[in-house]
């Protein structure tokens, strides 16, 4: 059985659906349901700061895909975001060890590289200047994953993901429209590189 934390969200629901299409039994853990949960998924509602809820969700899991995280546009106080992000991640790592999970997959971010991630970015690229609270939290959780790997022999994999957007219910509709314009050739006399740079402040 695969556990997808944050599986009611944009990326998580797509991941849960794809896993089910591959014949996997899937459980989703999230703070609340959404209409985008795939039909037939096993849903566990809870706050990842609650270890007992986390422990219940992780029971029987072979792989944990940990996507649950307070998103970068959140207006919560940073202390609360830290409790959810770091404390919740540690709860899932602890539960993964307790349940002898075969692999723990943590979704990190390219913001661990600073506002201007290198291209291309090998695993050895410097990550000592993470961008903003979101980058700092992700970087701290990466280090926590390594601790559980070395201390408890937990197999971990970490993916430093870029901005992800698409049709549906993702809040950054401006990004979706920008890509639509680029794909349709409507750059308003800007070449593709200039359009992307101005739209996303990449340089």
Catalytic residue among 65, 134, 148, 150: 134
Same domain, 74 and 157: yes
For the ranges 16-20, 34-38, 129-133, 150-154, the lowest mean pLDDT is seen at 34-38
What is the per-residue pLDDT for 195? 52
Share of the chain above pLDDT 90, in %: 67
| Same domain, residue pair 171 and 153 | no
160 and 171 belong to one structural domain: no
The model's pTM: 0.83
Q: Do 58 and 140 have their domain in common?
A: yes
CATH number where 144 lies: 3.40.50.720
Tell me the average pLDDT across 1-30: 95
Whether residue 40 has pLDDT greater than 50: yes
Are 87 and 176 members of one domain? no
Range of the domain at 154: 2-164
Query: Are 18 and 81 in the same domain?
Result: yes
**pLDDT tens readout for residues 168-183:** 555 566 666 777 777 7
Q: Looking at the structure, tell me whether residues 148 and 173 fall in a common domain.
A: no
Q: Left if phi > 0, otherwise alpha if psi is -120 to 50, otherwise beta: which for 82?
A: alpha
Alpha helices in 22-172 (DSSP H): 51-58, 78-82, 88-98, 132-152
| Residue 110 DSSP one-character state | G
46 and 83, same domain (yes or no): yes
Count of structural domains, the chain? 2
Tell me whether residue 51 is one of the annotated catalytic residues. no
Confidence category of residue 202, pLDDT binned at 50, 70, 90: very low
The whole-number average pLDDT for the span 159-171 is 72
Cβ neighbors of 3 (< 8 A, separation 6 or more) are 26, 27, 28, 29, 57, 58, 61, 63, 64, 65
pLDDT at 124: 85
* Residues 121 and 180 reside in one and the same domain: no
Mean of per-residue pLDDT scores for the chain: 87
> Would you call 51 exposed, middle or buried from its count of C-beta atoms within 10 A (0-12, 13-18, 19+)?
middle
CA within 13 Å, CB half, 89: 29
- In this structure, the answer to whether residues 73 and 159 fall within a common structural domain is yes
Q: List, for residues 108-154, the tens digit of each pLDDT value.
A: 999 999 888 888 888 888 999 999 999 999 999 999 999 999 999 99
Give yes or no: residues 87 and 185 share one domain.
Answer: no
184 and 105 in a common domain: no
């Amino acid at each position: 059985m695969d556990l997808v934390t944050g599986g009611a969200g944009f990326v998580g629901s797509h991941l849960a659906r794809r896993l089910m299409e591959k014949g996997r039994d899937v459980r989703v853990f999230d703070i609340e349901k959404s209409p985008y949960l795939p039909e037939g998924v096993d849903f566990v509602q809870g706050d990842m700061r609650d270890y007992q809820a986390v422990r219940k969700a992780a029971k029987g899991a072979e792989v944990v895909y940990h996507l649950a995280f307070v998103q970068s546009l959140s207006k919560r106080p940073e202390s609360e975001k830290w409790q959810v992000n770091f404390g919740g991640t540690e709860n899932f790592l602890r539960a993964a060890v307790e349940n002898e999970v075969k692999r723990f997959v943590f979704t990190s971010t390219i913001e661990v590289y600073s506002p201007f991630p290198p291209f291309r970015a090998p695993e050895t690229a410097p990550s000592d200047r993470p961008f903003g609270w979101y980058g700092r939290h992700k970087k701290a959780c990466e280090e926590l994953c390594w601790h559980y790997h070395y201390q408890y022999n937990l197999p971990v994999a970490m993916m430093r993901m870029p901005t992800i957007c698409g049709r549906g219910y993702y809040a950054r509709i401006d990004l979706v429209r920008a890509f639509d314009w680029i794909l349709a050739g409507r750059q308003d006399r800007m070449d593709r590189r200039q359009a992307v740079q101005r739209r996303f402040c990449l340089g």
